[in-house]
Each structure stands twice: as structure tokens, then as C-alpha cells.
Amino acid sequence: MNLFRVITRVSFDPQESAFIQVQKLGYFPEDVRHIILTHMHFDHCGGLLDFPWAKVHVHRREYESFTKEKHRWTDLAYIPRHISKVRQWQLYDTKDELWYGLRAIRLPFTPEMWLVPLHGHSWGHCGVAVKLEKGWFFNAADAGAVYNNTTPAWLIKLVLGPHDALLRQFMNDHPDVILSNSHMFPEWFIPGVWQ
């Protein structure tokens, strides 16, 4: 995990945990009944320990990659203890459904949500699309760096996978979809910046 601390900024401040953030939003942690994972690297599933009652939704390929023998350097970001308290899993397989022309899996939630396979950063990495009152929010997680124009394309492909160009084109073609990546600058999430 120390290798990943060098190449990505991850806050290890307990006040930044999902558990505390849920409370700051005025909810009880027990209100969290479902968690949708884009992938299972430590910086995306480390908080599962705080929500053992929640059902965790993830692509089957990602779950199987996490629980089996590791083969790639990015598999070092799988930390077994992070899933040790999960009691309920909902695993999904890629189907022939489409969301905005991308292969996708309709999730059983309202508002409408889709799991969008973007394998590459990890074996079963997916984005998550959520229907808004007007348009869509699409978190492509670690599948690209569409707001980063300084990192070389070869490095993005090596670390994040093969989908950055696709996501950049998607963002240009679909201005009604708000696309985000993980590890973006905090100012992007301030209300009013992208609304």
C-alpha cells in the first residue's frame, strides 16, 4: 500500500472517512444499506469495514480478481481485510445492455443507475452512471483522467487503463452527462461549479 501512497494522494484522516461524511450530511451510518463499488482497490473499498450491514454491489470479475491469486502490480492495491466484515455481496456480469452506447448493467435502484464496465485499471473496474433530475452523473472512477492534460497519455494508459480517450470523446459527445474521475481536485465538487 505504501507504493500507492507515493503515486496518489489519499487522505488517511479519520474525519474524511465515509462514515463521518455520512453523519455530516445528516444521516445515520445505518441508513447506508447499499454500496456500489467501481473497483476494490484499498482507496475505494477501505471504508467497507464501517458498514458491515450494507449490501455491496460490484462486478463479478472485480470480486473474483480480489479474492484470487494476484498477477499484476495494480493487484497490490487489494487489501483482504477491507472486505472481512462484508456479509452480503451482489455480483454482476456484463450483459448486452447499453447505456449511451456503452455496454452496461442496469442496477436495481431508483433513480436509474448503471454499472459501466471499463476494465483495465483493475480486472473488473466499472464506472457508475446515475440519472439526475436533468441529465446524468457518470463517475468513471480510475478509468481515465479526463480533466488532466499534463500527465502523458502513455502513463495514464499504464496506470489507469485503456479508456481515457474513449471517456474524453464521450464527454465531448454528451454534454448532458457530468463525467467525473476519482482523485479529482476538490474544487470540482463544490456545488455550483458543475451544476
Is pLDDT at 25 greater than 80 in this prediction?
A: yes
Rounded average pLDDT over 3-29: 76
Lowest mean pLDDT among 11-15, 117-121, 150-154, 184-188: 184-188
Rounded average pLDDT over 28-34: 97
Q: CA 85, CA 83: separation in Å to the nearest integer? A: 6
Give pLDDT, residue 10. Answer: 60
Of 63, 40, 186, 185, nearest to 121 by C-alpha is 40
Residue 132 CA: distances (Å) to CA of 101, 177, 192:
18, 9, 15
| Top-confidence residue, 92 or 96 | 92
- Which tens digits make up the pLDDT trace of 135-192? 999 999 999 988 888 888 888 888 899 999 999 999 999 999 999 988 765 554 545 4
Q: CA 145, CA 163: separation in Å to the nearest integer? A: 9
Q: Decide: pTM greater than 0.85.
A: yes
